[in-house]
Chain A
Amino acid sequence: MRNYENVIYAYIIMLLLIICVGLFQSWSIALTILNYCLISAVMTIGANIQWGYAGLINFGIMGYTALGGLAVVLVSVDPVKKAWQVGGLNILGSIWIIVAIVFITRFILKRFEKSLIRNYFIAFLIIAGVILIRVTATPGIEAIESVDPAVSGFLGGMGLPVLISWIIGAFLAGALAFIVGKIALGLRADYLAIATLLIAEIIVSIIKHEEWLARGVKNVIGLKRPAPYEVELQKTQWFRDFIEKIYSNKLELVNTIAQKKIILNQLIIDASSIFVKICFTGLFLSVVIILLIVTQKALYSPWGRKMRAIRDNEEAASAMGKNVVKEHLLIFILGSAIVGLAGAMMVTNDGLFTPGSYRPMRYTFVIWVMVIVGGTGNNFGAILGGFVVWFLWVEAAPISLFLIDLFTAHLPETNAIRLHLVESAPYFRFLLIGIGLLLIMRYRPQGIIPEKIIKQ
């Protein structure tokens, strides 16, 4: 039982910290942080499956997150009929050309012996294909992008409920992971890291620049939500009654009816935003709990033992007849799919899709810090890492502002150093995260909550 005690203490401390934010800053901020912590936790579960279970280093988390986000747009946004009419055929045509090129290349690779001529022919085929795609797609893309460029200018999605997009996002990310895994998984660890990072950059830059797909850097706003909208909530009767009931003590102290109404309205507006956030929290929490149960079960199943065996000694596992390549590919796909799910959750939570914001710093390296800090190979640790690091990431700026004020209190208000430090307070988060990572790597390489091997 002693092992579990640490876990429980760690989580209670984390929860208290978030409650502190609620008390000292505002409940709305606290819930926003909590929601993001939960999303980060899903990402770290994904990364931890790859790194902790199988020892695969995937620096492409950013790409899968972006793909998950793209899925939300493709699934939940209503289709733009006019755009389909003017350019749909061209786009479908070029997709077919891509498929054809892939299959012809595969056919050639299988059918003919390795030779220089074959390579040249494939290169020629790909270049010719790119030219052909540009010729077919360009008029279509131009037509699509000129349909109401201020608000749409893209093909739109399928108009389905947004929760379906979470699953589609996971599938898309898994499919991408299949391709990436086929290409890169044979590489040595640090090569794999670089290759996955660069492939993720490719994905993000395609999403960024193909405006017909999801408006690119112009962003898609006003996405559907699985939770009610604040404005509608403020009009619903039961919600108004509910808030009135909660605050009845406070309202009784107010004398005039007019004043009472104003105060009540303000309370309802505040409460509606908190209520929406709580809805999201509930959704995210259930995803985290389901994932946690599934991954814990998997970890202690024969399959989990096999994965650990492969991680700890690849040659030995291979000699015992385990198919290392296949298992690696499988776990790479699973982990990436979970990251894709997290990406879809995040975009749903934000209500907007901003491809320009996908940067490796925020979506790859910070997630990795979470996994390392929390504890590799332990799901509870990984989730805790997501919470701790995200909390620090958000609260680093206020904390460092406070510290700067404390240490420069003796300096006058207009002191150049003080002003400069106050101005650069947001960047202290990098310092905090970096030093935290270095310290953990040095003094507690197994993370806050280390991996626990149950001997069976």
Chain B
Amino acid sequence: MDFLNAIIVLFNYTLIPALAYGSQLALGAIFVTLIYAVLRFANFATGDMMSFGTMFAVILTYYFQSLGIGLGFLPTALLTIPFAILMMILYMLIIDKFVFSYYRVKKSPPVQFAMVSVGVMFVTQAIIRIIIGPSDRRFLDGEKFIIKATEFKEMTGLAEGITLKSTQAITIIVTLIIVSIMFWFLNRTKTGTSMRAYSDNEDLALLSGIDPKRVVLITWVIAGILATIGGVLYGLDKSYRPFVYFNNMLPIFAAAIVGGIGNPYGAFFGGYVIAFAEILLTYSYKKFIAYLLPSSLEPNSLMQLLSTDYKFVVSFSILVIVLLIRPSGIFKGKTI
């Protein structure tokens, strides 16, 4: 029984949060990697673009709530996602037209692209703060929990319970759906293949009659979908605050590089690697060990490898280690 309790403790405090957080990172990382693979630059506006899409979801959620439109036990934000995605894609296309396309035509080096994306980051951040302000916002409504700890305890008779927040379940499910559709699209459809061809070898792709404008357009559309959904899921799970979204760019980058930048499968996997590492290394194992060991040996310290303050440090250290040992990432990404 104690063994079962120990497993449940671990399940509740590490596995579920890590899966949810990993899904959010994975969506962001695929966004980064896609831009990197097709448009060939590291997009420093990643976090703020996600924030931009989420901003519309937040505003529309408030609007829908005032109109009394909702999804019952599901959060209203899910209803607003399509509209937010549209706005996001529109914004991305405008930015691409006025900023990035010039450098793409000129075939500027990736460093220049990165600097330009820093400019876009500044502008996006300003627009977000002017429209919605820098404060913390919660926009989750509907049912908060799917399984409550007390219910679980009553059901199973165990001493420990499992809490499953509805946002965590939604995050994991939506991510799986979106990612499977995306991989299906990239691998099975003609457009997806042409995108991969363009990413592999631009000149050859152009020679075989692939329209670069179309490829770029579709990349931004997919990027907009990923960015908005990733941002909204994160915002539902925690809360929406522009500064936090900007900071989230860093673990997202770490996830993309750890997985092998330019490789969507790698990015997907990298998101979970980063999330699990962050949570497993900063989790206090006291309760877990207390169940496994006889009560005389019960540890009196927290049994924590690193304090939770160092959550980000863990992911960045993993990145450094990966860069040292296997610079192309776990799944082979683009060459460095």
Contacts and interface: CB of A to CB of B under 8 A. Distances in A.
B313 A57 contact: no
B336 A198 contact: no
How would you classify the secondary structure of chain B's contact residues: helix, strand, loop or mixed?
Answer: helix
A199 B316 contact: yes
A429 to B, nearest CB: 8
Nearest to A426: B129
A406 interface: no
Given A189-B111, A198-B253, A428 B130 contact: yes
B129 A424 contact: yes
Interface stretch (B56-64, B117-125, B153-161, B190-198): B117-125
Contact of B310 (A205, A365, A368): A205
Given A191-B257, A438-B116, A197 B250 contact: yes
A190 interface: yes
A184 B316 CA distance: 13
A431 B122 contact: yes
Nearest to A198: B316
Contacts of B109: 189
Contacts of A424: 129-130, 133
A451 interface: no
A434 B316 contact: no
A54 interface: no
Interface string A131-150: 10010001000000000000
A201 B125 contact: no
Given A209-B307, A430-B123, A433-B122, A198 B42 contact: no
A199 B320 contact: yes
A198 B320 CA distance: 9
A206 B307 CA distance: 11
Given A190-B42, A198-B319, A424-B133, A209 B310 contact: yes
Interface string A424-449: 10011111111101100110010000
B150 interface: no
A190 B41 contact: yes
Given A184-B323, A430-B123, A206 B313 contact: yes
B323 A195 contact: yes
B201 to A, nearest CB: 18
Given A427-B126, A434-B123, A209 B309 contact: yes
Nearest to A200: B316
Interface string B93-134: 000000100100000011111111011111111110110011
A64 to B, nearest CB: 16
A301 to B, nearest CB: 26
Interface string B155-195: 00000000000000000000000000000000000000000
A434 to B, nearest CB: 3
A190 B327 CA distance: 13
Nearest to A189: B111
A170 B119 CA distance: 29
Given A187-B336, A437-B119, A201 B316 contact: yes
B246 interface: yes
A141 to B, nearest CB: 11
B312 interface: yes
Interface string B304-336: 011101101100110110011101000000001
B254 interface: yes
Interface in B283-319: 301, 305-307, 309-310, 312-313, 316-317, 319
Interface of B: 41-42, 44, 99, 102, 109-116, 118-127, 129-130, 133-134, 246, 250, 253-254, 257, 261, 301, 305-307, 309-310, 312-313, 316-317, 319-320, 323-325, 327, 336
7 contacts: A127-B305, A183-B323, A424-B133, A427-B134, A430-B125, A432-B126, A434-B120
Please list the 10 inter-chain residue pairs (A to B) with the smallest Cβ-Cβ separation, ordered nearest first.
Answer: A434-B122, A430-B126, A431-B126, A434-B123, A427-B129, A437-B119, A190-B42, A209-B309, A198-B316, A438-B119
Given A188-B336, A445-B112, 16 more contacts: A187-B336, A188-B110, A189-B114, A191-B327, A194-B42, A195-B319, A197-B250, A201-B313, A202-B317, A368-B118, A427-B129, A430-B125, A434-B124, A435-B123, A437-B119, A442-B99
Interface of A: 55, 57, 119, 127, 130-131, 134, 138, 183-184, 186-191, 193-195, 197-199, 201-202, 205-206, 208-209, 361, 365, 368-369, 372, 421, 423-424, 427-435, 437-438, 441-442, 445
